[in-house]
Each structure stands twice: as structure tokens, then as C-alpha cells.
Homo-oligomer: A and B are copies of this chain.
Amino acid sequence: MTVRLFVSATLTAGQAVTLDPRQAHYVASVMRLAPGDSIHLFNGRDGEWRTEIAMLTKKSVRLSVVDRVRAQKGPTDLWLAFTPPKGPRLATLIEKATELGVAVLAPIITARSIVRRTNTERLAAIAAEAAEQCGRLTVPAVREAVSLDDLIADWPTDRRLIFCDESRTAPTLTQAIADVPPPVAVLIGPEGGFAAAERERLRAMPAVIAATLGPRILRVDTAAIAALAVYQATAGDWRR
């Protein structure tokens, strides 16, 4: 398997790129690559490029960009707005949402939220590593956490919001998706659900379409992963 790394540098033939310390450690000490070995780089703008290791020590790796192997392509225009779960489930959610092709990760704070602030830099690093591993040409944008009220106030009118609702009176997810033209966002509430007043505000938004995710109570990360997978498989980039 070719090592793929996300970098911020511009990529063009002949360019020299120095890896950051985490990536240098991975290349030199974990993968034990040597000068002359190939590594692929992407930056979310210039496509994917084959490079060769020009210089390598345990702490520093310099690459020489050789040629482009894939043209740049945007991600599916799919957003995820979610109430961050506690502990390792948050990292699971970020990693899986990245693998499932999400473009924007928007943490929100709700009445029943337990996690009320997020470390954006850490979440972006998890997303970058997942993007490197899964073959994406982009890394999802991780937003700062905002209140549900602010999310609603600033909501773009042309983007439908699939509100994953626990009430079980809403249409099923596949019915909801079939009725919704892109672009869309998936909205996942906290463990214990949205408060009654929040549910009313959401249901009053013209952009909102409610959907139920089956007969069982899903954890936040499960609900997010499942809803994104169903979206990509039935309306997104899993189709041919």
C-alpha cells in the first residue's frame, strides 16, 4: 500500500516538500521508508502527486514531487451537524464520517449536550489522518462548535437538513432522502434526544426534513455513521 499524506504545500512537478514531524515519524520510523521510495501527497487543491524521498532522518523527511497521479475532485457536498459524544466515540465519529465522504463537520451544542466545547485542531488532525488512509483528495472542514440556535439562525436556505428524529413518527431515512434534492446536511442530536423546544424550532425550519433511523435507540456516533452510509449508498457517491 502506498503511503498517502495530506500537506498544505502547493504541489507541482519538481517542488520540494518537507513533512511535518508527525508525518516524518510515520514515514521514517513506522513505515521505515528509505530515500528513493515513493509517497503520494494531496493538499485538497492540486490532486494527488507521486513524490520520492530525497532526504530522510528520524525527524525530518524531504520529498521531491514527481508527477500527478489523480486530478483534483471535490468531495460529495454532504455536511454533518452533530452533537459531540463523550470520549473515544467522538474520534470514531470524525474518522468514520471522513471515510464516508463528508465535506463539512459541524459540532453543535444543544440543551442536553454533555460535550460543550470541542478541540477543533485535534478533530481536524483526526480527519486528516482518516483522509490519508481512505484515499480522499480532500480533508473535511471542521467547524467550531456553535449552539443549535446559531446553527439554525445561519442556516443556508438552499441546503436541506435531514433531521434524524427519535420520535418514530417521521418518514424512514430512505423515504426522506428520496424526497430531498442536494445539497444536504445530516443532523444528529445528543444521547437523550433534542429537548421539546428544540424539536419545535427544528421542525419549523423550511429546510428541515425529519427522518427516523429504525426501531432501536442508536448512540450518536452510530446514528451519524449509519445515516451517512445510507445517504452515500442511495443518493451520494457510492452510486455509479
Contact = CB atoms under 8 A, between A and B. Distances in A.
Interface string A113-154: 000000000000000000001111000000000000000000
A218 interface: yes
Contacts of A218: 99, 134
27 contacts: A1-B192, A88-B88, A95-B222, A96-B221, A96-B222, A96-B225, A99-B216, A99-B217, A99-B219, A100-B216, A100-B222, A101-B215, A135-B215, A135-B217, A172-B240, A174-B234, A174-B239, A212-B238, A214-B232, A214-B233, A214-B237, A215-B237, A215-B238, A225-B226, A226-B226, A229-B229, A234-B234
A213 interface: yes
Given A216-B135, A219-B99, A229 B226 contact: yes
A126 to B, nearest CB: 13
B174 A217 contact: no
Interface of A: 1, 88, 92, 95-96, 99-101, 133-136, 172-174, 192, 212-219, 221-222, 225-227, 229-230, 232-234, 237-240
Contacts of A215: 101, 135, 237-238
A217 B134 contact: yes
A239 B222 CA distance: 18
Nearest to A75: B216
A240 B92 CA distance: 29
A128 to B, nearest CB: 15
Given A215-B237, A225-B226, 10 more contacts: A99-B217, A99-B218, A100-B222, A101-B214, A134-B216, A172-B238, A174-B233, A214-B233, A215-B238, A230-B234
Contacts of A221: 96
A75 to B, nearest CB: 10
A238 B227 CA distance: 12
B217 A238 contact: no
A133 B223 CA distance: 14
Contacts of A217: 99, 133-135
Most B CB within 10 A of own CB, among A1, A214, A230: A214
